[in-house]
Structure 1
Amino acid sequence: MNKAEMKRLVETQTELTAADVDELLRVATEIEQSLRYRAFDVFIDVLNSVTNEAVVVFHQPPREGASLYTSTVVGLEAKQKDEPGVYRTLRTSLNSVNLYANSQEQRLIVQRVYPIRNRFRTIGVMIVEEDSHEAYEKEHTILAPVFNDDEETFVADELTDELLIFNSEGMLARANKAAVSLYQKIGYIGSIQGIHYDNLALDGTTYDFLLYQRERKTQGDRREVSIVYGNYHLSIKKIWSLHDGQLYMIIRDVTDLRQKEAEIISKSVAIREIHHRVKNNLQAVMSLLRIQGRRVDSEEAKIALQESINRMVVIAQTHELLSVQVEDSLDFTDILMSLVQNMERLFAPLKPLKVKVKMNQSIYLNGQQTVSIALVMNELLQNVYDHAYADGVAGEVVIEVSEQKQIIAISVADQGKGYDVKTAGQSSLGLMIIKSYVTEKLDGQLTIESKKTGTTTRILFKNTLNSDV
């Protein structure tokens, strides 16, 4: 054995520790010195940490008889479709005994695969190979249904889940087409009928362990586990028969479901990142507007710039909240209270108004509706602060929000000096924004009542969160 070459292969192909490498070298030395394997080709494979493919790092040819190989395979990959036992043992840490495989030279062989462990981890596998003398047609044995009875075959093959039935000795007695297809996909070669449970289990359990569990549990106890086997996500349930001691193993391939969940999470992360960037961009624009506001001499221009900044603050706050959560729903209370606090900070102490918010429930809106109603509320409060009360007057604003049968009702009432709704609506940018957003963005209704003793604005719109309309 070229220990230097084996060490180099392990170190370049894996992230195993120095202690792990020493253990692999020790096992290789034992294989060379043992007479037990003198008539077999014996290998050590490790799992490449990047490709997740098994790689041959050691080969001991037989000392008695000819090798199954005509050239060296050290450094070559062992594919899952060719050597299912290797991957099963690497993933489950269980022995895989007498499973068919195809060698790197595409020769049909039989493998016995054993885990090599160090510090409670499987760091590689030892593979003992011998020639297969059984002649069969792969296409027929792989696809042949295991059920013999016509009625049972029909019923079992109609199941979308994979069904395997083991007899009281742990040998596979029956399997439906879905189960045969699954094991073919993960690399099993030939018929799986008659293979022991210990060579078919994908979740790291043995038949003796299941019997041990059964003795300490009530008969008919059902157990379900979820595992990841290579690229497959599987849900496995085992049921003991009460009358004949058979074990029913039902496997459900949930790979597509897990992939869709991963896609949703990925898209959600991307959307949150977009919200975060929008917020940052708005803050940059607000900074530019503040700089511009300090340089202009016109008081009217200063007011217009500040109003634009206030609107951007509302939008930025909404995107900030959307950037830190997965779902596209926001608690309107958080937005409203943030808006009120921002107005109080902006106008105090010149406008010492008291804002009362009355909400007896949490109301959640989607992102689009949240931005729209937040801008509307910003304009309403801006109008109250600007026009309802004279400077220094301690006025009051009452905001009431409620929801019933998906209809949200909002009222904003003050006791200020009021205004002419008809004439103001033609010249006020704020009122134009309010009307436009309520009727077009929210598809709602707007009512404004204003007189010398105060103004009340009422808004009705449908909450479209979780709605098909």
Structure 2
Amino acid sequence: MADFSQIIAGKTGFIDADREWLHRLVSDWQVIADLSFADLILVIRNDEGDYVVADQCRASTVVSVLMEDLIGQPVAAEIVPAIESAYSNRVVARLDHYRMVGNNTVCDVFAPVIRDDRVLGVVIRETNMATRVGNGRYELECIQTGKRLFGMISLGRFPYQETLISERPNDLRVSDGFCVLSGEGIIEYASPNAISCYRRLGEQGELVGRYLAEVTTDQIHERDTVPESLSYVLSGKSAADSELDTSRASLAMRSLPLYNAQSQRDGALVLFRDVTEVRRREVELQTKDATISEIHHRVKNNLQAVSALLRLQARRTKSDEVRAELQEAQRRISTIAAVHEGLSQSADETVDFDTIIPSLLRMSVDVAEERGQNIGVHFVGEFGSMPAQDATPLSLVLTELVTNAVEHGFEGRTEGTITISAGRGGNSLDVVVEDDGNGMDTESENGMAKASGSGLGTQIVQTFVTNDFGGTIRWEPNHPHGTRVVLKMKLRAAQ
């Protein structure tokens, strides 16, 4: 089934600005549907001259008449004359009778979509007349304001050409609270939820008949943060978003200027939403993230301290065998510390493995430089991001394999290359570690890494690959010479 973007993209005669205008229309028209207690349908004329539904919007404030998706379908024959009237006359048109849609009696109104004095399509407002029974003041104010916004579509005033979007945009709904302003910025109507928002700020007086800017600034204290966009919203002169954070509450708001039939601004609709609890939870999450990052940072520092102690102990020992074991332990602890360093810089408990593994493996080949060898390490592919549950054992596996290649694969040689290739698909990870060294006989015993010292490196690789990752490890010759290790693993906690 074709979607909205495909339908308008295939319409010849539309320029990019026309398509952008329609995209902005359908991104903003939910407020019209909710205020009007009606469904909206956007119709365009295709290249064959037929009218098709390009998009639709269901009201969230009333039961929808649109029980199925109509996008891409032709419109009903009985409403084509009204659509053509809106197209040709460039004014809002109506049917002279109600229609039956299923078991619902529907009133249809048609507004041409105007941009730069050109008709791009028609928006149909479908109202279930059963919802017009027993309307109170709130419903009447909603419907009246919705009609004003709907009529602005045919004036080329909706959507708005320019908007001031805040750094923290909010999905404001009519049901969250709204007020209607006069052209001078005086509150003519405030919904119950809008009144509740201002009660939360501390305003206990009547809102209607007062300037919105005055009511709001009375509740702003010296230390409260006041964004520059707030004045635009409170005056209602611009389409703008803003947010007011006071010591008592946080209030998100959005202004939508209202224009009359002569395209003169004569009021505004201002939407409100109490986001106090949302912001409080955000602060709690930020505090939690900062605490976790600090924990990882301290763990890294402690591990580095242990690594430094092992390094000092290795320098003081007189046994070559003990010194080698201490150096191996120091390298493994440094590997784990590097993972925690990466986690301390992330807010979501994941580490970008591609940024830490080069430095880790560089440590593995440092011993070769001490012996006068030049061993290079190259990477192909990407590991991606992963949590510590996967990153720590994977880093140990790779450093053990590289260390094994350095210690056993390049004996008697002055230079060489180790290449690590990674292929990631979801939680499946394939890794190939290959070198151009002396060959398998020097690097493996019985299909595993040749033991060094106590053989702990062999146990680490075997345990993590097979038990933790449920994977396999295969050793094979690399052509024309060297060794190739193929790992197939399932990352446990990868996103």
The TM-score bracket by the shorter chain reads 0.5 to 0.7
Write the deviation string for residues 197-251 of structure 1: whole angstroms up to 9, x where unpaired. Answer: 343234799999889984xxxxxx5222222133322222122222393322111
State the superposition RMSD in angstroms: 3.7
Q: Which residue of 2 aligns with 1:441?
A: 468
Structure 1 contact 240–246 (Cα < 8 Å) conserved: yes
Q: Structure 1 pair 186/349, CA: closer, same or farther in 2 (3 Å)?
A: closer
Q: 1:68-107 counterparts in 2 under 5 A? A: none
Structure 1 contact 353–397 (Cα < 8 Å) conserved: no
Unaligned runs of 5+ in 1: 1-146, 215-220
Shift, 1:379, TM fit:
0.8
Structure 2 contact 181–188 (Cα < 8 Å) conserved: yes
The alignment status of 1:281 with 2:306, answered yes or no, reads: no
The alignment status of 1:411 with 2:411, answered yes or no, reads: no
- Separation in 2 of the partners of 1:328 and 1:206? 34
Shift, 1:436, TM fit:
1.3
Which residue identity does 2:415 align to in structure 1?
A
- Separation in 2 of the partners of 1:226 and 1:451? 62
- Equivalent position SS for 1:263: helix
State which of 444, 452, 458 in structure 1 corresponds to 2:486: 458
- Equivalent position SS for 1:234: strand
Write the deviation string for residues 374-431 of structure 1: whole angstroms up to 9, x where unpaired. Answer: 1111111121122223245534322222324553221112333343225868973211
What TM-score results when the alignment is normalised by the length of structure 2?
A: 0.55
Write the deviation string for residues 98-136 of structure 1: whole angstroms up to 9, x where unpaired. Answer: xxxxxxxxxxxxxxxxxxxxxxxxxxxxxxxxxxxxxxx
- Separation in 1 of the partners of 2:315 and 2:229? 77
Q: 1:351-370 counterparts in 2 under 5 A? A: 352-361=373-382, 363-370=384-391
Q: Which residue of 2 aligns with 1:55?
A: none
Unaligned runs of 5+ in 2: 1-134, 146-172, 218-225
Structure 2 contact 197–273 (Cα < 8 Å) conserved: no
Which residue identity does 2:489 align to in structure 1?
F
Q: Which is higher, the Rg of structure 1 or of structure 2?
A: 1
Q: Name the % identity.
A: 26
- Separation in 2 of the partners of 1:150 and 1:237? 19
Q: Which residue of 2 aligns with 1:256?
A: 277
Which residue identity does 2:445 align to in structure 1?
D
Q: Structure 1 pair 308/189, CA: closer, same or farther in 2 (3 Å)?
A: same
Which residue identity does 2:342 align to in structure 1?
L
Which residue identity does 2:459 align to in structure 1?
M
Q: Which residue of 2 aligns with 1:227?
A: 244
Structure 2 contact 405–443 (Cα < 8 Å) conserved: no
Q: Which is worse superposed, 408-417 or 398-407? A: 398-407
Q: Which residue of 1 aligns with 2:445?
A: 420
Structure 1 contact 401–410 (Cα < 8 Å) conserved: yes
Shift, 1:314, TM fit:
0.8
The alignment status of 1:163 with 2:190, answered yes or no, reads: no
Q: Which residue of 2 aligns with 1:241?
A: 258
- Separation in 2 of the partners of 1:208 and 1:326? 34
Q: Structure 1 pair 364/282, CA: closer, same or farther in 2 (3 Å)?
A: same
Structure 1 contact 340–355 (Cα < 8 Å) conserved: no
Q: Which is worse superposed, 424-433 or 223-232? A: 424-433
State which of 118, 127, 137 in structure 2 corresponds to 1:149: 137
Q: Which residue of 2 aligns with 1:346?
A: 367
The alignment status of 1:201 with 2:230, answered yes or no, reads: no
Which residue identity does 1:458 align to in structure 2?
V
Q: Which residue of 1 aligns with 2:311?
A: 290
The alignment status of 1:192 with 2:207, answered yes or no, reads: yes
- Separation in 2 of the partners of 1:304 and 1:177? 73
Which residue identity does 1:314 align to in structure 2?
T
Shift, 1:444, TM fit:
3.3
Write the deviation string for residues 34-59 of structure 1: whole angstroms up to 9, x where unpaired. Answer: xxxxxxxxxxxxxxxxxxxxxxxxxx
- Separation in 2 of the partners of 1:293 and 1:209? 68
What TM-score results when the alignment is normalised by the length of structure 1?
A: 0.58
State which of 194, 197, 203 in structure 2 corresponds to 1:182: 197
Which residue identity does 2:137 align to in structure 1?
D
Shift, 1:178, TM fit:
0.9
Q: Structure 1 pair 151/251, CA: closer, same or farther in 2 (3 Å)?
A: closer
Shift, 1:273, TM fit:
1.2
Shift, 1:300, TM fit:
2.0
Which residue identity does 1:343 align to in structure 2?
S
- Separation in 1 of the partners of 2:384 and 2:231? 56
Which residue identity does 1:149 align to in structure 2?
R
- Separation in 1 of the partners of 2:476 and 2:229? 78
